[in-house]
Structure 1
């Protein structure tokens, strides 16, 4: 590296580790259950819209993303002025933290949860404060107790990734009532469409310090397009938009997102979500009948707490053509097609896991 020096705050920063992908040249059928993708390709109307957008690939997209923000506003029933968009909700999480913290401010989050929260804090010169889960769920009391005069952001992953647990709005209202008004509560709702009684948008009007972050990657099946959006205070969202690099979402992805937000495509996504929720119940019941401890999930995945044996079980599954994610002291298994479920059950032995 010569004389270049890495910023001190980044020393030891772990890289983001994605879910495992099939090896190059792998020809056998594999159940790809490591990255919480939906098992179906994009709807035809979405693909057609993206193909048409290629004719304008020599032009920059609208940097304000006015049409996209308007479509999202209509979809969620909130003013477009309070919406920011980015190439994935992860980018928004980083920039929301960047807008709200000063050097040495604190960002509180649960652990294990989405690992990028720690990165978002460190990248913005803030101090990451991790609060352990309680019974695989956010320990809201402990998170409240962790708030100090330096705290600027509290992140709640709801439903939580990787455990799948979720809090209802009623439970979150009680939590929010105990949070200082100058502390932002970011609700990461990447998996909200798979849950019931969970909707952070209903909390916005009564709690101006709440910011909701969502994505088109999961329920809408557009993980490869990288479209995320945040809803909150208009001034804060304006600065979040300014933090992003210019033209951060490409025109082809914008076209796909606009098509995905049309009523017909939204309805089809809803039907696909319903099938995943039904398959989640079948998968959970089947695993439990075989002796596995499965955390009750409100997302499009299930979590098996395995302790130190998680990596070994993940390797065994991979050897049998099933890719799962060892993370947070267990394995996270995406809910896929019925064929994926069958493949997974064939790969896992019939025995009881570590109930921790």
Structure 2
């Protein structure tokens, strides 16, 4: 080719690297020539989908020749009933990642800055750089957000500030009083994006509900997903809640029909399945205890987590450990890309999956 297509791309995109998702089980089985692989890499719900959601999906399959409701009004009305957030405060997305990108596209110019923490979700720098804005990464405290450092990083150029609570990939949390004090200090022209993808797993009485804080902070956007505790990762659906003016701006850049009819229907149904949610949270609680105990027995350090995953320090370069675990039929997530080269992130699985991982890890580390 004689044309330099790379030079035609925007400056921010030229320097980007694609997000590396965990490999699917089928691909690894082909590559390694093994079967019965377990995947504990992508923070998925091991319980399987809600029966109520699946019944609703089957009922709507015959109508898939039609476009979905682009406004998603039925799901928005269900979200209003469930969370108390007004319909005109809601933006739906193809997963919460889609909503995070909408926020960046709506508010970022090339001269703007975006503040987020060290060890924060990989999508924050991606959407920032894609828009040509400048990422300002603040040092973490105990693998979590250092709110004072984030406040000190705000300048006249700061447009967005991302906070994940609980944080991915470390599982740390901010409690209500410290988050409220921080929000009180942020200038109103700086938009705070509170990413609550794992909020259902954080059961502490002091854990803040971002949606309840919306009336107090007009510069706050809360994002959530149905991919984790609600068990709909494969259908890709999430939402943002904000004041109605911000919501209108997000919907101006949102693509029409960005959420499928199947996803809209499943999400609306699963909101009614409180038993499923409770079973998901309880399975996660017992699985977390199982892995913590296993790490202690093997003398391994870990970061106490409030999500549906836990990050363990294997006390050596983690990439070879990750690769050896693959050969044992166990997929986890190495964190060198987050500048944590000795850590693996492990999703909470079923009891037998957790047991198998712990046995494999002990075998690998003994070599």
Whole-angstrom CA distance in 1 between matches of 2:77 and 2:262: 17
Q: Is the Cα–Cα contact under 8 Å of residues 220 and 266 in structure 1 kept in the other structure?
A: no
Q: CA RMSD in A?
A: 1.9
Change in 2 beyond 3 A, CA 1:2/1:76: farther
Are 1:276 and 2:284 an aligned pair? yes
1:266 shift after superposition? 2.7
Whole-angstrom CA distance in 2 between matches of 1:21 and 1:309: 24
Please name the residue that 2:15 is paired with.
12
Q: Is the Cα–Cα contact under 8 Å of residues 300 and 315 in structure 2 kept in the other structure?
A: no
Q: What is the CA deviation profile of residues 222-278 of structure 1, one whole-angstrom value per residue up to 9, with x for unaligned ones?
A: 00010100111111112212211110011111111111112xx13322222122122
Please name the residue that 2:324 is paired with.
316
SS in 1 for 2:352: helix
Are 1:219 and 2:229 an aligned pair? yes
Please name the residue that 2:349 is paired with.
336
Deviates more, 1:334-343 or 1:168-177: 168-177
1:352 shift after superposition? 9.4
Please name the residue that 1:261 is paired with.
271
Whole-angstrom CA distance in 2 between matches of 1:145 and 1:118: 19
Are 1:207 and 2:217 an aligned pair? yes
Whole-angstrom CA distance in 2 between matches of 1:352 and 1:178: 46
Runs of 4+ in 1 over 6 A off after TM superposition: 350-353
Change in 2 beyond 3 A, CA 1:169/1:332: same
Whole-angstrom CA distance in 2 between matches of 1:201 and 1:234: 14
1:181 shift after superposition? 1.2
Q: What is the CA deviation profile of residues 45-71 of structure 1, one whole-angstrom value per residue up to 9, with x for unaligned ones?
A: 211211221211111111111111111
Q: Is the Cα–Cα contact under 8 Å of residues 226 and 238 in structure 2 kept in the other structure?
A: yes
1:350 shift after superposition? 8.0
Whole-angstrom CA distance in 2 between matches of 1:252 and 1:352: 44
Whole-angstrom CA distance in 2 between matches of 1:267 and 1:195: 17
Q: Is the Cα–Cα contact under 8 Å of residues 45 and 259 in structure 1 kept in the other structure?
A: yes
Q: Is the Cα–Cα contact under 8 Å of residues 101 and 152 in structure 1 kept in the other structure?
A: yes
Whole-angstrom CA distance in 2 between matches of 1:175 and 1:321: 44
* TM-score, L = length of structure 2: 0.91
Q: 1:287 aligns with which of 274, 283, 295?
A: 295
* TM-score, L = length of structure 1: 0.94
Where structure 2 has 5 or more consecutive residues not aligned to the other structure, the ranges are: none
In the TM superposition, what are the counterparts of 1:129-144 in structure 2 within 5 Å? 129-144=136-151
In the TM superposition, what are the counterparts of 1:182-193 in structure 2 within 5 Å? 182-193=189-200
Deviates more, 1:302-311 or 1:85-94: 302-311
Please name the residue that 1:97 is paired with.
104
Are 1:348 and 2:361 an aligned pair? yes
Q: Is the Cα–Cα contact under 8 Å of residues 310 and 326 in structure 1 kept in the other structure?
A: yes
